[in-house]
Structure 1
Amino acid sequence: MMDLTELKEAIESKQYDKIADICDELQLQLAAQGIKEPEGWPYCIHLLGHIYTQDINSARFLWKRLPSSVKESQPEVVAVWKIGQCMWTHDYAGVHGALHSFNWSPEVQQIITALSDSYTKRAFELLLAAYSTISVADTAQFLGMSKDDALAYTLQRGWTLDSASQMLTVKKMPAVVDQRLHSSTLQNLTEYVFHLEH
């Protein structure tokens, strides 16, 4: 008998980063009991758990292990894998397209929404790190938004627009400097000052 209580609790409490580990562990426990393909296994959620944490290698191996009957009979599993494929090839627009191109079941939809939000934030952080200027069109493609939405999203975060060229100037975030001194550094400084005074 399969107990999915821990998995359901993780989903209900929006701890989506725990889904893959919970499913992997449960699958190992079932395999130890000789159950290789449990009836009613949440393949879609399991695959999405790996994709949510962007562990695309594990998602690929899980996809390869899936019975062909599941791939043929569960279009939602195939749709989830499309997201993983696009992540694997760094097709940012494709990821956003795959996230929004399927009529997800309610349980999966909440994870998809969280994945979409976190993926947009990660893409934005990549743009921050990689560009000093970028076109509105390219920004929209990376963020999976319309040009107007991408423009509003970036302007809210302090970027500026050159209307003539439709180029955005990226506002870099100030670097946070850790100003704590390591105890050995403090010790060395103390000894140095002591040496100067004596």
Structure 2
Amino acid sequence: MDFGRLTEALASKSYDKIADICDDLMLQAAAEGIAYKDEWPYAIHFLGYFYVDDINSARFLWKAIPSTIKENRPELVAVWKIGQKLWTRDHRGVYEAIHELDWCQEVQGLLAAFSDLYRRRMFQLLVSAYSTISVHDTAQFLGMNEEEAKVYVTQQGWIVDLASQMFTVKKQEVVSEQKLDSSKLQRLTEYVFHLEH
């Protein structure tokens, strides 16, 4: 099986394309009758799904993997543990599962990128959902200890009240672009023309 496209995507850090590439390769292998299950890069395939936030597809992939493969690949089981934590929204558990194993070289870059992306998603969730939140809860969502969380969010403009151990969330400014409707521009032009003549 030729994993050239997958190798290129990993090398170029095009992590958002990994799941689609793996799906395409899997379909191609099935159409050509190629037995691929023993050599399939399941951990990368799962992380590709996690990266694009497609937990349902990851669950279906898990069900399709033969139990003999699951039993013989500890890294696969460890990646699936991340998926289980994502599914149950155990945010702290996601970070713990990420750091639970000494990952192979080919998975490390994708896993680090996913971890960073997941932290940014959680931060955006906090910004959109809370006006105030405890230091403890923030640390849980971001997978940090409380001191790291204080540094991280205060760099984003949040204010910490040390007495109550609460953050005041700084809402992101919404930048809205005014779109100029061509019909409005036409009416404005006609109006100005009418005033001048």
TM value normalised by structure 1 = 0.92
Equivalent residue number for residue 61 of structure 2? 62
Letter matched to residue 120 of structure 1: R
Unpaired stretches in structure 2, ≥5 consecutive residues:
none
Q: Do structure 1's residue 90 and structure 2's residue 89 form an aligned pair?
A: yes
Give, as a single letter, the amino acid of the residue that structure 1 aligns with 2:118: Y
- Aligned partner of 1:137 in structure 2 is 136
What is the CA-CA distance between 1:35 and the residue it aligns to? 2.2
3-state SS in 2 of match to 1:172: coil
User: Paired residue for 2:111?
Assistant: 112
Q: Check if 1:100 corresponds to 2:87.
A: no
Distance in 2, matches of 1:26 and 1:166, equals 50
Structure 1 residue 186 displacement after superposition: 2.6
Deviation at 1:180, TM superposition (A): 2.6
Q: Corresponding residue for 1:73?
A: 72
SS, match of residue 167 in structure 2: strand
Give me the whole-angstrom Cα distance separating, in 2, the residues matched to 1:140 and 1:39: 39
Q: Which moved more, 1:51-60 or 1:34-43?
A: 34-43
The amino acid across from 1:100 in the alignment is H
The separation in 2 between residues aligned to 1:59 and 1:26, in whole angstroms, is: 16
Structure 1 CA distance for aligned equivalents of residues 192 and 62 of structure 2: 62
Post-superposition offset of 1:182 = 2.2
In the TM superposition, residue 20 of structure 1 has moved relative to its aligned partner by 0.9
Query: SS at the partner of 1:168?
Result: strand
> Do the aligned partners of residues 184 and 23 (structure 1) sit closer, same or farther apart at CA in structure 2, a change above 3 Å counting?
same
Match of 2:124 in 1: 125
- Tell me the residue number matched to 1:6: 5
For structure 1, list consecutive stretches of 5 or more residues without a partner in the other structure: none
Residue type at the aligned position of 1:165? S
Q: Give the whole-Å Cα distance in 1 for the aligned partners of 2:15 and 2:100.
A: 21
Tell me which moved more, 32-41 or 117-126.
Answer: 32-41
Q: Is the CA contact (8 Å cut-off) linking 2:92 and 2:143 kept in structure 1?
A: yes
Aligned residues, how many?
197
Give how far 1:109 is off.
1.3
One-letter identity of the residue aligned with 1:140: A
In structure 1, C-alpha distance between the alignment counterparts of 2:37 and 2:82, rounded to whole Å:
25
Distance 1:64 1:188, change over 3 A: farther
Spell out structure 1 runs of 4+ moving beyond 4 A: 188-198
How large is the RMSD of aligned CA atoms in angstroms?
Answer: 1.7
